[in-house]
Structure 1
Amino acid sequence: MHIRPLEKKDLKDVHKINNELKIMAYWFEEPYQSLSELESLYERHLRDESERRFVVEEKGVFAGIVELVELDYIHRNCEIQVIITDKFKGMGLAEKSMIEIVSYAFDILNMHKVYLYVDTDNKKAIHIYEKLGFKEEGYLREHFYTMGEYKDSFMMGVLKREWNREISEDF
């Protein structure tokens, strides 16, 4: 697995992910974004200091994206999001990419806390997050609307001092 910054050439692959209702439901976001809209967002966010977007590759093939968003340099926290395409699910790429990017957030960006939101029904993801040291910090009732219904969400987070260095060294 290799992680690198998102580039303009990746937008067609990102566009495919963004147009899959089932995948975007896990991100609590609306699907069906046009490619031109995505290109416009890319140009607008190119120099945005409040986010970092990365591509996950497996043997040179686009396998997903992992992002740090809502970067707050005063309070030193940020949100992490990850999507792995169906073709590469079950290979441990979500876990490996999160380890690499959470370590990046703590070691390079000097964040104090990394947090995320997860559907309370997404047991696989919750298991991965807990394994990595994320702790439930809140239960948000009917916080997101997706696929015709309101969904409950956990907010989970990990502090820099809690981050298990042994995990990140294993990868």
Structure 2
Amino acid sequence: MFLRSVERRDLNFYYEMWSDDEVRKFDSGFTIIPSNDFIIENFDKIMNLKKKHLTIVNEKGVVVGYITYEALQDCKNVFEIGITIRKDFRGRGYGKDSIQTLTKFLFLNVAAKRVELQMVCDNEKALNCYKTCGFIQEGVLREKFFSEGKYKDLIVMAMIEEDFNKHYKM
């Protein structure tokens, strides 16, 4: 598995992901599905936002998901991450490998002091994955995310530099 910059050849994949009801159930990026034409016309704008998208590619060259990171403006060296794996590739370790790869990159190459994320409370598989990767649950944002016709809680998780060093034995 490796992470790479998003390329134009990934556009259909992103459209497929953002059109999937199950993806939108857990990903707050798009509540309204953008058209394929919109994604094509606005590719450069979408991919050059403060939030960086990386495409996750498996050992056979198949795109299996994407992972994002963004430097938070109000805190130096603090990043927020997010990840989405295609449903037919879940449970194979791609999420774990991608999170660990990105987390190591942020702490070792970008001098991160803290990496955080927010996740929908009823996504047990994601919660277990993040814990396995060394993230600590810090709190709950009550009824912050609207999905499937109701408001849901978001779990806030983070890893600080000390956690990273212990977890990865640095």
- Does the TM-score normalized on the shorter chain lie above 0.5? yes
CA shift for structure 1 position 41: 4.0
Report percent identity of matched pairs. 23
Deviates more, 1:127-136 or 1:90-99: 127-136
Matching residue of 2:111: 110
- Counterpart CA distance in 1 for 2:53 and 2:21 is 21
Matching residue of 1:20: 20
- Counterpart CA distance in 2 for 1:76 and 1:97 is 20
Write out aligned runs for 1:17-56 (5 A).
17-28=17-28, 29-48=30-49, 50-56=50-56
Matching residue of 1:165: 168
**What are structure 1's unaligned runs of at least 5 residues?**
none
Matching residue of 2:9: 9
CA shift for structure 1 position 71: 4.2
Instruction: Give the conservation status (yes or no) of the 8 Å contact 1:53–1:65.
Output: yes
- Counterpart CA distance in 1 for 2:155 and 2:23 is 18
Assess, with a 3 A threshold, how the Cα gap between structure 1 residues 60 and 31 changes in structure 2: closer, same or farther: farther
Assess, with a 3 A threshold, how the Cα gap between structure 1 residues 116 and 74 changes in structure 2: closer, same or farther: closer
Deviation per CA, 1:44-63: give whole Å up to 9, x if none.
14444x22211111110111
Deviation per CA, 1:115-144: give whole Å up to 9, x if none.
111111111111111111111122111001
Instruction: Give the conservation status (yes or no) of the 8 Å contact 1:56–1:66.
Output: yes
CA shift for structure 1 position 38: 2.1
Matching residue of 2:127: 126
The code of the aligned residue for 2:53 comes to: R
Matching residue of 2:69: 68
Q: CA-atom RMSD, angstroms?
A: 1.9
- Counterpart CA distance in 1 for 2:101 and 2:85 is 15
**What are structure 2's unaligned runs of at least 5 residues?**
none
Deviation per CA, 1:7-35: give whole Å up to 9, x if none.
12111101100000111211134152112
SS of the residue corresponding to residue 65 of structure 1 reads strand
* Stretches (4+) displaced over 6 A: none
Matching residue of 1:84: 85
Instruction: Give the conservation status (yes or no) of the 8 Å contact 2:80–2:117.
Output: yes
- Counterpart CA distance in 1 for 2:128 and 2:47 is 33
- Counterpart CA distance in 1 for 2:71 and 2:38 is 20
